[in-house]
Amino acid sequence: MTDGTPRTAGPTEPAAPAEKPAAPAEKPAEKAAELTSLERTALYKSLGNPLRRRILDYLGRHGEANSTVLARELGESSGTTSYHLRKLAEQKLIEEIPEKSGGRERWWRSLPFSHTTPDPATMTTEEYAAAEHLALLKIEVDTGLFRRAHEEYRGPQGWAQVQRTGTWMTKTDLHDFVRAYQELLDRYSHPDDAVPEGARRVNLRFYAAPDPVGEWEGEPTGP
């Protein structure tokens, strides 16, 4: 999911939709339909729900599960997990596994998912609030990953890797770099149904933040 942290102060009123900023290139056949503001709001609320996040995390790590398995593993009732599974399915974040489901026994797996959060200035008040809540939750997770990467670093040949740099780019350079970054992910990643022996699930994050305007003797280094 490609997104950013909304500004501290949200929009004062709904704004007209703006052109979608440059995002990682997608194959035309895989490009998802543009979501409406209401659909994005529902998506952010769903991803910000603690139990639904735990369900998605479990499915991402274990591949599949039913409501009974999730209830046992997450300490919830099967009725509760069943309800949240149906809601996640409605948003096409997961899907039922037909060959394993029968009667009231329904098995689920996660679906490939990609989304680019729009400019906060184009959001309605409700959408902005949901996006901000989700972004703050992600910052907590990412802070933990950042600390782990440093704590578990065992040199350039280890599993944990940390790269930090600063350089000069135009906005076009930056957008081209982001596309190339996505192409690298596609080249070196393996789908869930074709994981090679010895592979581990790896968490990667990419951020780009220009220096503030005026920091370099008045040069226009910011937006």
Per-residue pLDDT tens over the stretch 139-178:
999 999 999 999 999 999 999 999 999 999 999 999 999 9
- Tell me the whole-structure pTM to 2 decimals: 0.71
Per-residue pLDDT tens over the stretch 88-142:
999 999 999 988 877 778 999 999 888 889 999 999 999 999 999 999 999 999 9
Per-residue pLDDT tens over the stretch 24-50:
333 334 445 688 999 999 999 999 999
Measure the CA–CA gap between 149 and 19, rounded to whole angstroms: 36
The whole-number pLDDT of residue 37 equals 94
